[in-house]
Amino acid sequence: MSIPSGSAHAAGHPDPAAERAANTGLGELLAGVTRDLSTLFRQEVELAKAELTDSAKKAGKGAGMFGGAAVAGYFALLFLSITVWWALGYLIGNAWSALAVTVVYAVVALVLFLRGRKQFKTIQGAPQTVDSLKEIPETLKPGGTA
């Protein structure tokens, strides 16, 4: 097998990368590696920032859509309530039908309030954090002996 005549090896010249490695000190090599790692780290941080910015924009758009859906749902419920009130008005009169719709909403609100209050009473703080803090050795706690 022959080496192409245009190659640096064919003319008897050493590989430039090998020559550079042979003439470079350990300190310079470590400085180069450190510089390259620093550059890589900065690039990774910039990429993470860009990805987070993109995710935040998408989350903002999604939150806006949920907000719009909530407003539209509120109006749908409002007009459904008016429809029920109006329809019941033909059977029992407008005043009584308005009172009936109001009572239904009051019962729903009371049930939701009571269930929400029950949920809040079950909250105990951050148990995982409390357990983790209990595991800190005495020497690391403020006022501990070193």
Per-residue pLDDT of the chain (146 residues; tens, 9 = 90+): 455 554 445 556 667 777 776 777 777 777 778 888 888 888 888 888 888 888 888 888 888 999 999 999 999 999 999 999 999 999 998 899 899 989 999 998 999 899 998 888 888 766 666 566 566 655 555 665 54
Q: So what's the pLDDT on residue 75?
A: 93
Q: So what's the pLDDT on residue 39?
A: 85
Number of alpha helices (DSSP H) and beta strands (DSSP E) in the chain: 4, 0
Q: Which of 103, 68, 98, 102 is nearest to 86 (CA)?
A: 98
Query: Which residues, 6 or more positions from 4, have their beta carbon under 8 angstroms from its beta carbon?
Result: 10
Q: How open is the CA angle 53-59-60, to the nearest 5 degrees?
A: 90
Q: So what's the pLDDT on residue 142?
A: 61
